[in-house]
Structure 1
Amino acid sequence: MTSQTDRNQPARTDDAHSLPAGTRTANAPTPEQILRAPKVLLHDHLDGGLRPATIVELAQQTGYPNLPETDPDKLGVWFREAADSGSLERYLETFSHTVGVMQTRDALVRVAAECAEDLAADGVVYAEVRYAPEQHLAAGLTLEEVVEAVNEGFREGERCAHDNGHRIRVGALLTAMRHAARALEIAELANRYRDLGVVGFDIAGAEAGYPPTRHLDAFEYLKRENNHFTIHAGEAFGLPSIWQALQWCGADRLGHGVRIIDDIEVRDDGTVALGRLASYVRDKRIPLELCPSSNLQTGAASSYAEHPIGLLRRLHFRATVNTDNRLMSNTSMSQEFEHLVEAFGYTLDDMQWFSVNAMKSAFIPFDERLAMINDVIKPGYASLKSEWLFR
């Protein structure tokens, strides 16, 4: 990997999108418009987005004994406080509770259906939701039964959303855990179900000490099968994680990828110089699955106004906006965009740019992506922007 000092020719960032942090433009979208805007989500964890009331009910039904709170409102507060505590042990404990109640077929169907409904109600028209099948076997389900239950739930949620006047399509990403040794098995599972609701593969878990190169056999298999995969990289560990994910493993997208900012130098005179890795990521249009609220929790940025997404958008990286874990971050796609509108003065044009970026980067066939862009996303934003003419 080249060093950060090996820079390309500097470029200026004083373009139309270089508004001072905290600037809210006169034509900034309202919260109601943000909610209605057609949004695309590529990075969302199924076990990180449960409704607190559902967790309580599933714990009662399945006999799960370890919930810290049994009142849904108090449980929701507990999840948010634990995720914000700065303690990795408490943060990981939050997932032990959600995964703990997701061990039966009925529970998986319900959680997946509610996920699709919640996203649709938030204006998401296309989503790729990831989960690790290997984490849902404690009650005797097989890997195949887990996948089929989640797929059934997504289809049920899509139908319910449609009945409520919302449109959404949900694809599943099967995740293998970095610290385990089942990546090839999960990759093969993703390939078997690729035309049955599963659109790709992912690895997740702690980056430090568990490089993606431990799972090269899985990535080589997926490439031979012409299948799609993303890799959690560049969230906590930094540039080496990104370089390995791209150059050794061949990832189609970077899960987070926010640490690419470490290979970008902003100079005092307003010019910006990209290192060779950052230039490669931008030149190759490698999608970055950025998750602003989650990144604040993990320390990748100290505030929304200082989040690297502002600079990455100005430099025209293939940046996308995502939720990561809606329960733990107490967020939604609409809330993520509200934060960005407030921090960077973004307009509906910016929201459309992020949404088209994400749709271009989705793991479904090109003609289907193009149809979503031309028939759903662009008309949706055009309709919202036309409202300004009558204000």
Structure 2
Amino acid sequence: MDHLWTPRRKRLAILFSLCSFRAMAIHGRGAQLARVPDRFGLAAREADGDWMDEREGLDGPGPKLRTTVTLEHPRSILTFNRSPDIPFDRSVNAYRGCEHGCIYCYARPTHAYHDLSPGLDFETKLFAKPDAARLLRETLAKPGYAPAPIAMGTNTDPYQPIEGRYRITREILQLCLELRHPVTITTKSARVIDDLDLLTELARHRLTAVGISVTSLDPRLSGLLEPRASSPAKRLDALEKLVVAGVPAHVSVAPVIPSITDEFMEGILAAAAERGVRSASWIMVRLPHEVAPLFREWLDTHFPDRAGKVMSIVQAVRGGKDYDAKFFTRMKPEGIWADLIRTRFRVACRKYGIGKAEIDLDCTQFRKPSRNGQLDLF
């Protein structure tokens, strides 16, 4: 029958195999394998028939994706911004990329600046900055520096799994405690408790506040959305431990994904309140640049029955587009759906005795280090 295996039949077989492979979810990762359009014209990498034939059967498991970490040695570490709709003006990111693999992460497009994919590369090809604490000390020692809270976790999570090995976040917290510099943390990892000793001492001096985002209460759904982040239960337990230790703790119901996670809003707020959390916020899912096609593919893979409905609501609150990048609008969705979620959040907060986050950290205790690394006496 070999004479029936014509070039046309072979091409059709390969095409069918590729389509089947695309439909399979990659276990333990957020992004899938479809090509991601990008703004910089990077070369696309696609599987071909020869590679497919080498797999363990056409529909067998693909190669396991390994996480790699490259040490990066930047010249500075403190980043300043002038965005009028962001409540901080400076931040530190100890890592580039994030192994948590959250499919909705708005930081994914930053990997494209390094000729890397905002998809799988973002969650498998990571960068660590081991000089971060030293660079920060040098910046804080500059004559014109004026203290204000440093935000950590604004781009990639400071407590992603590789923090357990590199401990860069801990070094930064040790420096902030030494210099009495205020610092805030946003994370979706229970690993933040590893630094409870430092956070407790920082809180005693009114120098820190910690926000933990909880997306759902369903561990299976969380495993699809945020494959390598802590489970919802562990995040809630971490919030309770922070509260007990006297560390200002905040729960962020973020992001809210309509028809996927919005059903958990009231439950998350109730669970947080039971653990003593007294402030909360919510953020609608944001899909800038390459995040939108990645998210669409994730929906097609895991929730094909409601993918159209989800994107219809997302576009309804973003002026008919996948994303609206205008200041304030990007943080404040509009329309009936947004008003409904906003009302639900407000009612639930009132019911459970939760208010808005009011971060009031003390900048007056700051001890400027000298240029040689020692503290100034005056």
TM-score computed with the length of structure 1 as normaliser:
0.38
**Per residue, is there more helix in 1 or in 2?**
1
Larger Rg: 2
